[in-house]
Chains A and B, each alone.
Chain A
């Protein structure tokens, strides 16, 4: 399978796993971040992980990502039923990831991802307490965006990819949120320089091409 087919297969598997006739009536269709899927697949290919195993790993990781993203949507402004189902959908996706890896008897990866979920939520809470000009925000954002990929990188001994994920997905997020302050522009510059140092060590044109707009 080429990369695009693999991405499509992961997306299809996830959509099938999370489909729920009642929940789907109340919450928006889930968006599966193609950049994240593609990055993870490239990393696993580089670590010479067998294709079927790589697809399983990315499937599990993206279920967690969806669970976390779904819980990010919960807020006081939502209509009651929509809020209730947003909470429960996120919980269900978390349960599905655990169930899937438990069926694979992959306890070490369950542990890795649990560590990432823990780290991400601590940083999300920490981020809420920081003022908008606190530079520590950038580290929080980088952890939130990359912890799952970093844990997966550790799991397959592709450590350098973890570092790459840290800067790449932080950059993607801060760019998406809109760069306004000097501190933010400095941080973007810092990430870009780091990535320019890191990227040449990885001969993955797909990754470079996919994320080239971030480096411009």
Chain B
């Protein structure tokens, strides 16, 4: 089953959210409009709005409220992508020129800040301090996570706990917040929205671990970048941490730096793949996925429940 088919009952609302995104980013400056639409038209899975809408189905689903939260989360995500492209010096995203490649770093900073402000404006239509507290805390933690990612580059002495904390902040928190916020705004009981938070958290952890595995086993065509790019850029991910249990390989990995040639990297990646690191990483990813499914069992059954179940399963099986 394709991902979109799992929540097809949301199609009407998702289309209206897409429209609202376009309306929200509009302004009097044509260049700001062009840049914002350039981003929107690049597409994306809109998985955060999907989680918001699904979370909302566990309470009193009021589309106007859901729309505000969904649009806010997607705009925050878009703003962070624009700034991430400056951080990574990325030229392409989803096959399209990045904002910074097209208009420069400074321009990208302004567009990102503009989108962030637009997101907060949307969110301010929600008069619920708990919702604001959750979102604000998530934003701060995600930023701290990104700073950690930079400070941890080429740091091969880090442990599993540090890695898990980093991917929590990098990926899991925003997915967790998306699931929870929909339910909070729909007035779902605390016991329900907290479970949705944990569901999103576990799914997010599993998703990122799979992403980190695919970086080693995916093809350049599937990944849109050379295999092993994370390690070449100094990001110490789960397969690397497991592979470092082997002493000789550990020594070789610890020599990786900005100047490591692609040939040397290819050798390191091959050696990592020959260990049980990928298998062990999958095991941990599956454990998180199982926790997500276990959490789901404690939630009331409805069509959103089925959609969340299928999405979690899909994320666990995805190959790229």
Interface residues, chain A, CB within 8 Å of chain B? 20, 22-23, 67-68, 71-72, 74-76, 80-81, 83-85, 87-92, 94-96, 98-99, 101-103, 105, 107-108, 110-111, 114-115, 117-118, 120-122, 124-126, 128-129
Contact = CB atoms under 8 A, between A and B. Distances in A.
Given A75-B105, A88-B146, 18 more contacts: A22-B150, A22-B151, A80-B89, A83-B105, A88-B83, A91-B80, A91-B83, A91-B146, A94-B113, A95-B140, A101-B136, A103-B136, A108-B124, A110-B120, A114-B124, A125-B110, A126-B29, A128-B107
Interface in B139-185: 139-140, 142-144, 146-147, 150-151
A23 B139 contact: no
A115 B28 CA distance: 14
B32 A125 contact: yes
17 contacts: A22-B147, A71-B109, A76-B105, A85-B147, A88-B87, A88-B147, A88-B150, A91-B146, A96-B140, A108-B124, A110-B123, A117-B113, A118-B117, A118-B118, A118-B121, A122-B27, A125-B29
B105 A95 contact: no
A121 B107 contact: no
Interface string B118-145: 1011011001010011011101101110
Contacts of A80: 89
Contacts of A68: 113
B39 to A, nearest CB: 14
Nearest to A22: B151
B150 A81 contact: yes
Interface residues of B, number: 43
Contacts of B117: 114-115, 117-118, 121
Contacts of B87: 83-84, 87-88
Interface in B65-100: 80, 83, 86-87, 89
User: Which 6 pairs show the lowest CB-CB distances between chains A and B?
Assistant: A117-B117, A114-B120, A118-B117, A111-B124, A102-B132, A99-B136
Contacts of B137: 99, 102
Contacts of B83: 87-88, 91
A103 B151 CA distance: 29
B112 to A, nearest CB: 8
B121 A125 contact: no
Contacts of B27: 118, 122
Interface string B11-42: 00000000000000001110110000000000
Contacts of A90: 109, 113
A114 to B, nearest CB: 4
Nearest to A91: B143
B150 A84 contact: yes
Please classify the interface of chain A as helix (H, G, I), strand (E, B), loop, or mixed, using the class held by over half of its residues: helix
A23 B146 CA distance: 11
B104 interface: yes
Given A125-B107, A129-B31, A99 B139 contact: yes
B124 A110 contact: yes
A121 B113 contact: yes
Contacts of A91: 80, 83, 112, 143, 146
Considering residues A90, A105, A121, which has the most beta carbons from chain B within 10 angstroms of its beta carbon? A121
Contacts of B132: 98, 102, 105, 107, 110
Contact of B110 (A22, A98, A121): A121
B147 A92 contact: yes
Contacts of B31: 125-126, 129
A75 B106 contact: yes
B111 interface: yes
B136 A102 contact: yes
A68 B109 CA distance: 9
B101 to A, nearest CB: 11
